[in-house]
Amino acid sequence: MNNQGYCKFVLGGCTVLLVISCTTVSVDHVKHLPTNMTSGESVVVIGRRSGRNYETEPELISCIGNALAKGQDGLSVIPEQQFVDSLYPWFEPRTAPTQLRQMQKLLAFERVAKVFD
């Protein structure tokens, strides 16, 4: 799966889970796309970090990650903080992408792209 497809899958899947799982939330964007995840691939649930008033609660992120990992066909979920730390400074509040196209621009950086490969 290419990086763009992976990002779309993660964002779309997380949005769906937000609606049905952990709490009442407002959904800004939903996109459903097929994916071909293979053994050894993982997902990460990333909260919004565009400012203190818009920051996603860590408990919500954990709840969604747990829902994705649950069951016989559960996904391998990377903890959000581990992911954010491995990509410092690109996911800090002032630099974190808030839209899919911004995420795609980040993949142009070699260090960022390596984390996704």
pLDDT in tens, 3-42: 655 555 555 555 555 555 555 666 677 676 777 778 888 8
Tell me phi and psi for residue 77, to 5 degrees. Answer: -115, 125
Q: Where are the domains of the chain?
A: 3-116
Q: Does pLDDT of 110 surpass 70?
A: yes
Rounded-to-integer distance, Cα 85 and Cα 80, Å: 9
Q: Does pLDDT of 116 surpass 80?
A: no
More confident residue, 102 or 74: 102
* SS3 category, 89: coil
pLDDT tens for each residue of 47-100: 876 666 667 778 888 888 888 888 777 888 999 889 888 888 888 878 888 888
Rounded-to-integer distance, Cα 82 and Cα 12, Å: 21
What's the pTM value of the predicted model, to 2 decimals? 0.62
pLDDT for 70 equals 86
Q: Alpha-carbon Rg of the chain, whole angstroms?
A: 14
Tell me phi and psi for residue 43, to 5 degrees. Answer: -125, 160
